[in-house]
Chain A
Amino acid sequence: MEITKRKEQDVSIVSVSGRIDAITAPDFEKSLDELIAQGDRVLLIDLSDLGYISSAGLRSILSSAKKLKALSGEILFTGLQGPVEEVFQISGFKSIFKIFPSETEALGSL
């Protein structure tokens, strides 16, 4: 798993590639927590290059989303594809999170 972060206006864009499984999920959650701790309130997570996610990854996402919501923030997604999209679909995450076809559209919605 590799994570790259950059800032666009007030939004932190987090691109994650590789795999978020039970082994890497704690590091992913730590990364999101660091952004929340430094004051970021809107995270856009780009999943274009993510090949695999398990329930451990969804757990990390939900945990961070709950923390952010309590702070009036939110997590948005873009780049949903393949097996990752399937997992989002089955788990219902596709309907509880805001998901955008592109980064531009996600930023434009704010």
Chain B
Amino acid sequence: MRMAENVHTLCSIELPAVLESLPGFVAGITRYAREAGFSEHRLGAMELAMEEAIVNIVKYSSTSPESVITITCATDDKEAFYITIIDNGPPFDPLKKDTPDTSAGIDDRPIGGLGIFFIKEMTDGVTYAREAGRNILTIKMKKQ
């Protein structure tokens, strides 16, 4: 996934890497997407993708009480939003996780493992990079 050349940043929010930061991140980012004309349905998908990404960082990556997560949103002014979620925890590539078997029954089904799958299914592309000691997850979401 490549960002279009004319993409520009709309916002950047930094909050502690804790679950309680979820509403702040979601409200802060979806405000811009709503203004850009995203439907409530797409905003819901965006919120879900952000929650799953943040929960993963809080669970697997954030190491100290001072850990923070930075989320930026950018747009090409046409059809797409790019949400970039950055943390400075140990390297963690969520995209390497196995795809869950969604046909397994109640007994066979492991608890968990759906978060990253949801991000992939509900968005229009997701990439991971490790740069300068930071995990960088970029999610692309189209308006339609």
**Contact with B22, one of A21, A58, A63, A92 (Cβ below 8 angstroms):** A21
Most-contacted residue by chain A among B41, B103, B106 (CB, 10 A): B106
Please state if A59 and B121 are interface contacts (CB–CB under 8 Å).
no
Residues 1-30 of B at the A interface (beta carbon under 8 Å): 19-20, 22-23
Q: Does B44 contact A (CB under 8 A)?
A: yes
B51, CB-defined interface residue at 8 Å = yes
Inter-chain contact total with CB atoms closer than 8 Å: 66
For the complex, give the distance between the alpha carbons of A91 and B88 in Å.
Answer: 30
Q: Are B112 and A54 in contact (CB under 8 A)?
A: no
CA gap between A95 and B105 in the complex, in Å: 9
A56 at the interface (CB under 8 A from B): yes
A62-B118 in contact (CB<8A): no
Does A22 lie within 8 Å of B55, measured CB to CB? yes
Q: Report whether B44 and A52 are in contact in the complex, using a CB–CB cutoff of 8 Å.
A: yes
Chain A residues within 8 Å of B118, by CB: 54-55, 87, 90-91
The answer to whether B34 has its CB under 8 Å from any CB of chain A is: no
Question: Is the interface on chain B under 10, 10 to 19, 20 to 34, or 35 or more residues?
Answer: 20 to 34
CA gap between A23 and B47 in the complex, in Å: 14
Q: How far is the CB of B46 from chain A (nearest CB, A)?
A: 11
Q: Is the CB of B51 within 8 A of A63?
A: no
Given contacts A21-B51, A65-B106, 10 further A-B contacts (CB under 8 A): A22-B51, A23-B20, A23-B22, A52-B44, A54-B48, A54-B51, A56-B55, A69-B107, A90-B117, A95-B103
Q: How far is the CB of A29 from chain B (nearest CB, A)?
A: 11
Bound complex: CA of A91 vs CA of B111, how far in Å?
12
Do A96 and B109 have beta carbons less than 8 Å apart? yes
| Residues from chain B with Cβ under 8 Å of A55 in the complex | 52, 55, 112, 114-115, 118
B59: nearest residue on chain A (CB-CB)?
A: A22
Q: How many angstroms from the CA of A52 to the CA of B20 in the assembled complex?
A: 17
* Measured CA separation A54–B56 after assembly (Å): 13
Q: How far is the CB of A82 from chain B (nearest CB, A)?
A: 8
Give the one of B102, B103, B122 with max A CB within 10 A: B102
